[in-house]
Amino acid sequence: MRYSELFLPTGREVPSDAELVSHQLMIRAGMMRKLTSGIYSYLPLGYRVIRKVEQIVREEMNRAGAQEVFLPMVQPAELWQESGRWIHYGKELLRLRDRHDREYCLGPTHEEVITDLVRNEIKTYRQLPRNLYQIQTKFRDEIRPRFGVMRCREFGMKDAYSFDPDEAGAEVSYRKMFDAYNRIFTRCGLNFRPVEADSGSIGGSYSHEFMVMADSGEDAICFCNACQYAANMEKAELAKPEAELPAGSALLLEEVHTPGVRTIEEVCGYLHVRPEEVVKTLIFAADGEPVAVLIRGDREVNEVKVRNYLGCDALEFASDDMIFKVTRSPRGFAGAIGIKARIIADYSLMGASAVVMGANREDYHLTHVNPGRDFKVENYADLCVIRRSDPCPRCGGKISLARGIEVGHVFKLGTKYSKAMKALYLDRNGREQTMVMGCYGIGIGRTVAAAIEQNHDADGIVWPLPLAPYPVIITPVNVNEKPLLETAEKIYLFLVEKGMEVLLDDRDERAGVKFKDADLIGIPFRVTIGPQKLSEGKVEIRDRRSGEVKTLTVSEVEAFLMERISEKCEV
């Protein structure tokens, strides 16, 4: 491609809402433009990178035995009503009506559509297993679209769905996808990690997220330094304490006046106790019903664990009204004694005694509280957020924390959709059975943005070779000097003929401008053709990542690029 003909508006300006480097660079490098909130157009350079990712995804999905389909984006409400998600999916589902007043949604994911297709077409065990995938546009009406294409509303996703006759088969299908994802993100040149994850609104029993490691990532993850354990913090388990210690203290409950003291820090300062000796009582509304969650003062509650424990759809902090109904006191003084709510407690409180807790009375706390003696806990469970000093739940090793960007997600769905939507087949004995499903997503645009988060410097993007829109740019420093342009054209035509994607910077611009643009758009190799070196029959080749410059003859450059590029792109 000749740069002079390319639709590539590069620049210095970044919109004020572009907080992340990847967002800024995708705008500056002319990869994409915002149409409206959370909705973006890809320009030629950006779309080339998208297609690179799609190609790698496609090759690895095909290699793993999945078959490509293309499903509709507009989906009838009836299917979503059948699965139960018309209600449960909430406001991320964009709903619409046609001229006949029939209801539809724009697909945020395709479990319903694929299950409908498969239940109509697959009838016997002989037709199983099947894995079908597509690369297609999704729409999710995200509450806060941000970070450019990282969290937008309209985005491209690869989604695959496996159908197996039984649990064992589903496990094999899951494994295949897990392995394919490892290959995909390795081939994309990314530093990533699969982590155990919560299943969220898609549902199902078991899942892993593929995280690209980046400090700017929205997800907090933890991993063990001694074993393979790695998990999203939402999911990261904490082991049940070995044995429940007997409630030891015989001291009697005491109500103490604590004027204006609400937070854990204030309680500790005022009563001269450590956070470990205080109990936090958090009142939640779980599907509208009050639930008190107790946790040790030094720990944070993990709302995902609470939601999973309760099995509720909606979990939010209780309103002032609800808190008053439950505790008979204003916010900030809740305790467990005498309240009108279910009480569940985190493992950290097992065996606790003589602790401090809100007195359900404004400006008062209780000391010497003994759970068990003074109130009844419905159950102790793992409800808190893991932290650095905690032991690994698998091996007891040391846990590290890090941040990541979720680029892919594999789920074992079990029979959630196949049961609700009656995806049945006849087994060997002619008996009707329910198919066992899995689903597997990769955000294409998010993968590109994540690659930039991980691969950039002060001058711009530094593409991993397999994702580079063009692996090579040829830059004659002055197109008005005939020998420079001629040599550039010669190398360009040679490489193009060999099937390489090459950019020829034939613009009548100063060398400095060209170099800056080449760095900004992140082209891995720049061949610079200048008068001095060319007078010796040589040109320079610069590695974008290392900055290393080699001086080679024209034929050496051609051989060098042919070798380097095919070598790095090899499967």
Summarize as ranges the residues that interact with ligand ATP (CB under 6 A): 109, 140, 142, 151-152, 155, 157, 200, 202, 406-409, 441, 443, 445-446
Of the pair 211, 520, the CB lying nearest ligand ATP is at 211
Of the pair 154, 505, the CB lying nearest ligand ATP is at 154
DSSP-assigned beta bridge partners for residue 213: 404
Least CB distance from residue 152 to ligand ATP, whole Å?
Answer: 5
Of the pair 408, 471, the CB lying nearest ligand ATP is at 408
**Is there a contact between 184 and 57 (Cβ–Cβ < 8 Å)?**
yes
Other residues' Cβ atoms within 10 Å of the Cβ of residue 181: 26
Least CB distance from residue 506 to ligand ATP, whole Å?
Answer: 36
Q: State the DSSP string of 112-123.
A: HHHHHHHHHH--
Of the pair 138, 544, the CB lying nearest ligand ATP is at 138
Calculate the alpha carbon distances from 205 to 110, 198, 315, 488, 554 in Å.
18, 9, 20, 57, 58
Of the pair 140, 176, the CB lying nearest ligand ATP is at 140
d(CA 217, CA 220): 8
DSSP-assigned beta bridge partners for residue 33: 41
Amino acid at 405: I
DSSP-derived letter for residue 241 is P
d(CA 437, CA 171): 10
24-30 LR contacts (CB < 8 Å, sep 24+): 25/452, 25/456, 25/460, 25/461, 25/520, 26/148, 26/149, 26/448, 26/449, 26/452, 27/148, 28/460, 28/520, 29/460, 29/461, 29/520, 29/521, 29/522, 30/521
Least CB distance from residue 206 to ligand ATP, whole Å?
Answer: 14
Of the pair 79, 294, the CB lying nearest ligand ATP is at 79
Who's near 299: CB < 8 A, 6+ residues apart?
280, 346, 348, 384, 385, 387
Of the pair 90, 269, the CB lying nearest ligand ATP is at 90
Least CB distance from residue 140 to ligand ATP, whole Å?
Answer: 5
DSSP-derived letter for residue 372 is T
Residues 149-169 as b/e (b if ≥16 CB within 10 A, e otherwise) read bbbbbbbbbbbbbbbbbeeeb
Q: In this structure, what is the dihedral angle of CA atoms 247, 248, 252, 258, given to the nearest 10 degrees?
A: -80
Of the pair 346, 406, the CB lying nearest ligand ATP is at 406
Least CB distance from residue 446 to ligand ATP, whole Å?
Answer: 4
Other residues' Cβ atoms within 10 Å of the Cβ of residue 206: 16
**What are the helix (H) ranges across 443-546?**
444-454, 482-497, 511-520, 531-535
Of the pair 215, 567, the CB lying nearest ligand ATP is at 215
d(CA 396, CA 236): 13
Of the pair 3, 440, the CB lying nearest ligand ATP is at 440
Least CB distance from residue 139 to ligand ATP, whole Å?
Answer: 9
Who's near 7: CB < 8 A, 6+ residues apart?
30, 43, 44
Of the pair 12, 144, the CB lying nearest ligand ATP is at 144
Of the pair 154, 558, the CB lying nearest ligand ATP is at 154
Give the pairing type, strands 279-286 and 289-296.
Answer: antiparallel
Least CB distance from residue 105 to ligand ATP, whole Å?
Answer: 15
Q: What is the largest CA-CA distance in the chain?
A: 96
d(CA 1, CA 492): 9
Least CB distance from residue 388 to ligand ATP, whole Å?
Answer: 23
Least CB distance from residue 51 to ligand ATP, whole Å?
Answer: 17
Least CB distance from residue 542 to ligand ATP, whole Å?
Answer: 33
Of the pair 37, 225, the CB lying nearest ligand ATP is at 37
Of the pair 119, 158, the CB lying nearest ligand ATP is at 158
Least CB distance from residue 21 to ligand ATP, whole Å?
Answer: 17
Least CB distance from residue 56 to ligand ATP, whole Å?
Answer: 15
Omega cis (within 30) before 476: no
d(CA 565, CA 559): 10
* In the block, residue with structure tokens 């969220």: 200
- The residue nearest ligand ATP at its CB is 443
Give phi and psi for 44, each to the nearest 5. Answer: -50, -45
Least CB distance from residue 41 to ligand ATP, whole Å?
Answer: 15
Least CB distance from residue 393 to ligand ATP, whole Å?
Answer: 22
d(CA 264, CA 296): 10
